[in-house]
Amino acid sequence: MPNAIYYVSYKLKKGKSVPDFLLAAEKLNNEFISKQKGYISWKQLVAGDTWADMCTFETMEDLEHFLEVSRNPNETANAFYSFLNLMSCKQHLFSVERTFE
């Protein structure tokens, strides 16, 4: 079964500190995301003022379960979300078709 990727792009709220944002992301990853079934990795990407998260899970089922449990964010998730301009978020779910390494 192919891996599944959750890809979301967004912008930070004006005036938010990038170092503080990165610390909030690391805490969220360490305390919650990395503990989810099927978790493989979380990559944070940036181009100018646009950020993107690319979370990889073993299966689409694992990714869908992660999204379901994420619907009720805990304090750590809310701290991370406080940096995001939620109106700028665009999310996609992908199945990995091929990998070149």
The partner residues of 82 in beta bridges, in order of sequence, read none
- Domain spans in the chain, listed from the N-terminal domain onward: 4-95
- In this predicted structure, what is the pLDDT of residue 70? 95
pLDDT 10s digits, 34-80: 999 999 999 999 999 999 999 999 999 999 999 999 999 999 999 99
Question: Would you tell me which CATH number, out of the four given (3.30.360.10, 3.30.70.100, 3.30.470.20, 3.30.70.260), belongs to the domain 4-95?
Answer: 3.30.70.100
Q: Are 6 and 61 in contact (CB under 8 A)?
A: no
> DSSP secondary-structure letter at 86?
E
The DSSP secondary structure of 25-54, one letter per residue, reads HHHHHHHTGGGSTTEEEEEEEEETTEEEEE
Examine the pLDDT at 1 and tell me if it is beyond 80.
no
Q: Are 40 and 4 in contact (CB under 8 A)?
A: no
pTM score: 0.92
